[in-house]
């Protein structure tokens, strides 16, 4: 696309507003309400979110993962613990989750410490997944360089021959992470780029709320 066309691609954001006085004390209440509204749109991959991590020496990285639970104030996703993101989280167990809900002209940013789920929790969810996904997780050395696709498919075939009926046990290298938020920012688009931003910060167990300039 030409630069001039890119620059002309603009719209006004007019669908909502955020009032600090009306905001709940606990940001999770607001997250739940906004997330439910987004899911009601019926959009595909409604649970997709950007997960940002950083390497030990501070190089940022980001990718999409699926939100699989918001439990006890924690945001849960599942992955391969040996993947690039897994290694980054081992070295630097902090992350930011980013949600963009275009229909509502909303963005939510969640940052905090990250912990692994327990093996029991991992296994419980692993077994809820289709057997094909279980075998996929077992077979893929996620983020490693592989010679070609055939190498992967051979491993999948061997694992399908062995575990196709019952599914494999949950591998130790696969499981969930929980992001425990210490900062949650809600952004609602407004006209003339004068957007509303409300930032919740957890201080000594209490959520503090501030309005940020757009």
**Which of helix, strand or coil describes residue 137?**
helix
Q: Does position 83 bind ligand FMN by CB under 6 A?
A: yes
Q: At 193, phi and psi to the nearest 5?
A: 65, 15
Burial string for 38-55 (b: 16+ CB within 10 Å, else e) reads beeeeeeeeeebebbbbe
**Residues in 118-177 that interact with ligand FMN by CB under 6 A:** 142-143
Residue 55 Cβ vs ligand FMN, minimum distance, rounded to whole Å: 11
193 catalytically annotated:
yes
Is 13 part of any known ligand binding site? yes
**Which of helix, strand or coil describes residue 140?**
coil
* Choice between 98 and 199, CB closer to ligand FMN: 98
Is 143 part of any known ligand binding site? yes
Handedness of CA 116, 183, 88, 44 (dihedral sign): positive
Is 119 part of any known ligand binding site? no
Is 10 part of any known ligand binding site? yes
Chain centre distance of CA 111: 11
Q: Does position 64 bind ligand FMN by CB under 6 A?
A: yes
Neighbouring CB atoms inside 10 A of 103's CB total 11
* Choice between 92 and 201, CB closer to ligand FMN: 92
Residues tagged in the binding site annotation for FMN: 63-68, 78-79, 85, 107, 142-143, 187, 197
Residues classed as catalytic: 193
Binding residues for ligand FMN (CB under 6 A): 45, 48, 61, 63-66, 77-79, 83-85, 142-143
């Amino acid at each position: 696309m030409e630069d001039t066309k890119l620059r002309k691609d603009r719209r006004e954001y007019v669908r909502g507003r955020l009032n600090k006085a009306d905001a709940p004390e606990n940001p999770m209440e607001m997250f739940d309400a906004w997330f439910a509204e987004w899911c009601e749109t019926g959009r595909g991959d409604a649970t997709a979110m950007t997960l940002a991590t950083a390497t030990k020496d501070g190089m940022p990285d980001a990718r999409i993962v699926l939100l699989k639970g918001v439990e006890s104030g924690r945001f849960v996703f599942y992955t391969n613990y040996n993947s690039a993101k897994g290694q980054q989280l081992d070295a630097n167990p902090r992350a930011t989750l980013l949600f963009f809900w275009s229909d509502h002209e909303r963005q939510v940013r969640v940052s905090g410490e990250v912990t692994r789920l327990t093996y029991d929790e991992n296994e419980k969810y692993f077994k809820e997944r289709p057997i094909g996904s279980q075998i996929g997780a077992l077979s893929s050395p996620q983020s490693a360089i592989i010679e070609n696709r055939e190498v992967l498919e051979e491993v999948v075939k061997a694992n399908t021959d062995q575990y196709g009926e019952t599914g494999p046990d949950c591998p130790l290298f696969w499981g969930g992470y929980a992001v425990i938020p210490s900062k949650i920012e809600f952004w609602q688009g407004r006209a003339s780029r004068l957007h509303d931003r409300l930032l919740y910060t957890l201080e000594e167990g209490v959520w503090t709320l501030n309005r940020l300039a757009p």
